[in-house]
Amino acid sequence: MKTLAHKQDSLLIVYDADAIQHPGPFLFSPEHWAGQGAVTGEAAGRGRAIFLETGFGHAVLRQYLRGGWAAKASRDRYVFSGFEQSRPMAEFVVLEHLLAQGLPVPAPLAAMCIREGALYRGWILMRMIRHSATLADLLSVRQQDPVLWRSMGACIRRFHDHGLVHADLNARNILVGDADEIHLIDFDRARLRKNDARAFSANLKRLHRSLQKLWPEPGLEQLQWCWQKLQEGYNRSPAAS
């Protein structure tokens, strides 16, 4: 991966030059991709995610959007405190770092920050994790699979051992592939902090709350069994893995 930067007036794009030869704002325009017939789907969520089939492969385009009360002030603008501190640039850097460590994350392709006075808007473009489904979508059919739940726990532990604190670890941000390979997604506001046991514990508690909220009924008692298997995978020592 060869990361370069393209600066133009109040706009900054960072991109993988091995995949993208001609960076520009068009890369982050849903209208551009729709005109190319490249849009293959869309995922609902706080940040709009559009699935693309491009000349550089299958990709996901996500715009940074606010949720909750903050969206009443502005849906898509954030306070500007420097390009490097913007959410798209920060997420690109985190993804680049995790990918270099061999962790299962979507490869970053490009990110763009557009400054508008004291505010900015942002987008990120990533490789798509193909042939996968979110854990949330699999809860009703994968409750009897201890290997899968232990694998999820072990995967999360790998991220924590590398100092990654996920800002929103929930069942929709865990992808399960056809061969049960596990990926984490959505690293907006993620942080790298070595040995932050409190933050790692908060990650797990957030995931547990997400599972409690999404778990199909009847069958909540099965959640505790699955969670126990996830914890077994998480707590297994590296030497035993």
How many of the other CB atoms lie within 10 Å of CB of 132? 19
The helix or strand, by DSSP H or E, that contains position 113, with its residue range, turns out to be: strand 108-116
Q: What is the DSSP string of 120-153?
A: EEEEEEEE---SEEEHHHHTTT-TT-HHHHHHHH
First-residue to last-residue Cα distance in the chain: 29
Q: Exactly one of 161, 168, 178, 186 is catalytic; which is it? A: 168
Residue 229 CB-half CA count within 13 A:
15
Instruction: Report the distance separating Cα 109 and Cα 56, nearest Å.
Output: 9
Decide if 168 is catalytic.
yes
* Catalytically active residues, by annotation: 168
